[in-house]
């Protein structure tokens, strides 16, 4: 055996051993199983410093919360492109690159709470399947600038949690027709106004426990809450400095327009969805019709062939009988 082959073999053995040990370490801190029919990996409190790399590539639920992860790269998390639920809470994350999560097109739930994130990537709000985003207890987070860079938000968000982030003002979310739960608990706002939620036209719950707010106009305190009541939004009552009788209900035309634009966008999206469903249904019906027509044609040809064969047999039998008489 040549020296080159020996060297190559030794290098392969060393590399295999290192990779095997690394994967063994990953597996040691993770439990891989099925949860609600989805492939899951529970790596909670595994003392990881980065995303484990030896899990199944088709994992759909990945829990790496309560670890010591400081940084996540696109390549590390991009290995798990089919992940739908990703828990990253209670780590040491500070900054995330814009491209970190961009390959996770199937991601539905992302939990980044209990970290020290300063600038989340605006691309979060463009993930095509993201419905639930938890950013709670990131006390230095710059949520205002992030959302300004991300707008218009295209993710179909149904839940947004920015609780206990030490916010002084709420971000301008633009139009979010699918947001059902907005958690702003634990913040103490210097200026709360109807425009902060006017573009959230299907809101069902505004979670505002352990919360306080100031208003530029004392009557805005009542106007804000009346806006929510008129739309059947559940919330915790906010104490106002003056009586409600002193304040006529007054909403700006701009806020009403934003709300109506949100409803219009929802209707456009609904029609687009129905159109896609209609096209898909028509395609299925067309395929079924072609299959049925093809089957009918096949049966007819088969029957004709059978009849011709039967007639040929009858003629042949008649000829034999005639020949017998002769």
Find which of 6-15, 165-174, 270-279 is predicted with most confidence, using mean pLDDT. Answer: 165-174
What's the confidence (pLDDT) of residue 316?
65
C-beta separation of 97 from 74 below 8 A: yes
260: in domain: yes
Cis peptide bond upstream of 152, omega within 30: yes
Beta bridge partners of 134: 111, 161
3 state DSSP class of 107: coil
Query: What distance in Å separates the CA atoms of residue 6 and residue 8, rounded to the nearest whole number?
Result: 5
121 CB neighbour count, 10 Å cutoff: 19
Counting every residue, how long is the chain?
Answer: 326
**Count of C-beta atoms within a 10 Å radius of residue 229:** 11
**Quick one: average pLDDT of 275-279?**
60
Is 147 a domain residue?
no
**What is residue 248's predicted lDDT score, i.e. its pLDDT?**
93
Does residue 11 have a pLDDT over 50?
no
Domain with 228 in it: 183-303
Residues 19/22/23/24 CA torsion (nearest 10 deg): 120
282 domain residue, yes or no: yes
**φ, ψ of residue 232 in degrees (nearest 5):** 55, 40
pLDDT given for residue 275 in this prediction: 53
What is the pLDDT, as a whole number, of residue 18?
Answer: 39
User: Is the model's pLDDT at 253 over the cut of 60?
Assistant: yes
Of the two residues 292 and 286, the one the predictor is more confident about is 292
pTM: 0.80
> Does any domain span residue 60?
no
**Phi-psi label, residue 97: left if phi above 0, alpha if psi -120 to 50, beta otherwise:** beta
Evaluate whether residue 230 is within a structural domain.
Answer: yes
Instruction: Give a yes or no: residue 108 inside a domain.
Output: no
Sheet holding 85-87, edge to edge: 31-35, 38-42, 61-63, 85-87, 109-111, 132-134, 159-161, 181-183, 205-207, 234-235
d(CA 211, CA 189): 8
pLDDT tens, position by position, 186-220: 999 999 999 999 999 999 999 999 999 999 999 99
Question: Stretch 22-42: mean pLDDT, rounded?
Answer: 81
Give the mean pLDDT of 139-143.
93
166-193 burial code (b ≥16 CB/10 A, e <16):
ebeebbebbbbbbbbbbbbbbbebeebb
Domain count, the chain: 1
Q: Is residue 16 part of a domain?
A: no
pLDDT at 299 over 80: no
Evaluate whether residue 153 is within a structural domain: no
Q: Name the CA radius of gyration of the chain, rounded.
A: 32
Angle at 35 between CA 32 and CA 37, to 5 degrees: 115
């Amino acid at each position: 055996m040549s020296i080159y082959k020996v060297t190559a073999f030794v290098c392969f053995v060393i590399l295999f051993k290192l990779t095997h040990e690394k994967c063994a370490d990953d597996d040691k801190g993770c439990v891989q199983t099925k949860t609600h029919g989805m492939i899951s990996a529970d790596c909670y409190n595994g003392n990881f410093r980065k995303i484990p790399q030896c899990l199944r590539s088709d994992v759909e639920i990945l829990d790496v919360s309560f670890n010591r992860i400081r940084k996540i790269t696109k390549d590390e998390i991009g290995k798990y492109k089919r992940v739908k639920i990703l828990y990253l809470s209670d780590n040491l994350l500070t900054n995330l690159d814009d491209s970190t999560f961009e390959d996770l097109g199937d991601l539905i739930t992302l939990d980044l709470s209990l970290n020290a994130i300063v600038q989340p990537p605006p691309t979060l709000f463009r993930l095509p399947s993201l419905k639930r985003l938890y950013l709670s207890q990131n006390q230095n987070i710059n949520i205002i600038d992030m959302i300004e860079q991300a707008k218009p938000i295209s993710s179909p968000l149904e839940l947004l949690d920015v609780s206990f982030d030490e916010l002084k003002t709420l971000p301008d979310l633009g139009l979010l027709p699918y947001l059902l739960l907005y958690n702003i608990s634990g913040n103490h706002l210097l200026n709360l106004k109807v425009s902060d939620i006017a573009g959230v036209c299907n809101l069902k719950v505004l979670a505002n426990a352990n919360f306080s707010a100031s208003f530029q106009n004392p009557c805005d305190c009542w106007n804000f809450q009346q806006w929510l009541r008129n739309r059947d939004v559940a919330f915790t009552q906010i104490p106002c400095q003056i009586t409600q009788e002193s304040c006529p209900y007054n909403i700006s035309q701009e806020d009403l327009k934003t709300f109506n634009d949100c409803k219009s966008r929802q209707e456009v999206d609904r029609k687009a969805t129905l159109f896609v469903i209609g096209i898909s249904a028509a395609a299925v019906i067309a395929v079924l019709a072609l299959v049925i027509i093809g089957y009918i044609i096949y049966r007819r040809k088969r029957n004709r062939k059978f009849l011709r064969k039967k007639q040929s047999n009858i003629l042949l039998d008649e000829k034999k009988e005639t020949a017998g008489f002769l």
